[in-house]
Amino acid sequence: MYCNYCNKEIIDAKRPKGNTDYSKVYRSSEHIIQNAIGGRLESEKICCDRCNFHLEELIDKSFCDIFVPFISNINNFKKTNNSNNAPKCSGYAIYNEGNKNKMVFADVIKKSKVKKSNELIKIEKEAGTKNLDERIKNCLNEMRVAFKNFNLDNNYFKQGISKIAYNYAIYLGINIKNISNVCDVTLDSENKELISINFNTIVIPFVPGNAFDDFLELHTKFTLFHNLILFRYGKELWCYINLFNTFQFYVRLSDNYDDGENIRYKIYGQEFQYMQSNMNTNHNIYSDIIMEKAKEYTASGYKYVDTLSYNFYIKQNKLNNYFRIENPLRKFDKGEYEIIFYPWWIIQAKDKEEIIEYTTKKYIQLNQYLIKDNPTILDSELFSMSKEDREKFVELYLKSIKSS
């Protein structure tokens, strides 16, 4: 077996203790979704022990740091630091300013409390506020965290999410030759160790394009999970990635992939991972919701044979799977519909504004779910704020993926 990154032949054994002869590489288990963000699926078919080590340094550490503000709030999360020291982070917070909700940048947030906001100080100074210190203190006290900053303003997010897609494809048996041109690897000229890596994938944020997906995403009880779907559409190979039921993206791994089957699309595999070990709810809760809604849809004129196109697949009255590959634009009353490839539909039909609005809603859902000891802000409050305020954070969110 060969390593999919450095191409060296892997010795089918663990590296002997103290062995530093890196011209030889050994067996190693790589997590598909990074262990530090709760990924449990792992495989020894992906890379050697040396590449595993380098990938951690080159991509995983920085990628996983982005999620620290959430992870510290997830109950029973195994990878959480064992102390009560919630990590400090920055973010956005709102407070009431003359009957209007105003959002400011919070430089230091600790345990859902805003400790410092330079923007607030500046605003109050400029307004010539008397008793400045007291006013600031009061404002900070009543401030509510809208969302914690997750520093997506870097390339690590794209690299990390692309690596998940790439590894998942290898895990499912996709021939590396078909996807290797989205992954630029540089090896050291002497010892052939991995020294840099860059994924040049296309990454597209998910936005619901029909009533069914909208319902599922925004009007059902929020649960924490990761979800991966690898699929081919025509000659394109894509992976749908959903992290924390919030960060939802399509990653394109190939535009010239052919497995010889003459069908419109094919699913290679789907993976669901629930995040909380203390979840006493049924782990199939998500499937149940989909099933319930799917029945409703089929009852109201959605033809059984068409359900494949409607992103869920029902067999013998049981939900078999749920995909987001095609987005039907439907006119059922007239028996007409048009099937559009979901990612391209998002690119073509969704303007930035809509992506911002959806992204904001999803992100707020996650924060409301996690920030339990803090009176969370409501959607209505969020949307009562100025557009500029809302755009502030989504700008950050989208920056990292725009470049593709």
State which of residues 6, 32, 216, 325 lies at the interface with Zn ion (CB under 5 A): 6
Minimum CB distance to Zn ion, residue 60 (Å): 15
Please enumerate in sequence order all residues whose Cβ is within 8 A of that of 320, keeping only pairs 6 or more positions apart, or say none.
Answer: 313, 314
Question: 């319902």: which residue's tokens?
Answer: 215
Query: Hey, what amino acid is at 242?
Result: N
**Cβ(62)–Cβ(156) under 8 Å?**
yes
Of 47 and 275, which has the nearer Cβ to Zn ion? 47
From the CB of 170, what's the least distance to Zn ion, in Å? 12
Residue type, 382: L
For residues 351 and 239, give the distance between their C-alpha atoms in angstroms, rounded to a whole number: 22
- Within 212-325, strands assigned E span 225-233, 236-243, 247-254, 265-274, 312-315, 318-322
Site for Zn ion in 265-284 (CB under 5 A): none
Binders of Zn ion in range 121-160 (CB under 5 A): none
The total of other beta-carbon atoms located within 10 Å of residue 221's CB is 9
Total site size for Zn ion, rule CB under 5 A: 6
Looking at the Cβ atoms of 27 and 61, the one nearer to Zn ion is 27
Joined tokens for residue 249: 């993206």
Residue (54 or 350) nearer to Zn ion, CB: 54
Under the criterion CB under 5 A, does residue 3 sit at the interface with Zn ion? yes
Rounded to a whole number of angstroms, the minimum distance from the CB of residue 32 to Zn ion is 17
Stretch that binds Zn ion, among 15-23, 50-58, 64-72, 347-355 (CB under 5 A): 50-58
Closest CB to Zn ion among residues 3, 366: 3
Query: Do 133 and 172 meet the contact criterion of CB atoms below 8 Å apart?
Result: no
- Give me the least distance between CB of 45 and Zn ion, in Å please: 12
| Cα–Cα distance measured from residue 233 to residue 165, given in angstroms and rounded to the nearest whole number | 15
**Collapsed DSSP state (helix, strand, coil) of residue 101:** strand
22 binds Zn ion per the rule CB under 5 A: no
Name residues contacting Zn ion, limited to 51-80 (CB under 5 A). Answer: 51
Among 32, 33, 36, 48, binds Zn ion (CB under 5 A): 48
Q: Summarize as ranges the residues that interact with Zn ion (CB under 5 A).
A: 3, 5-6, 47-48, 51
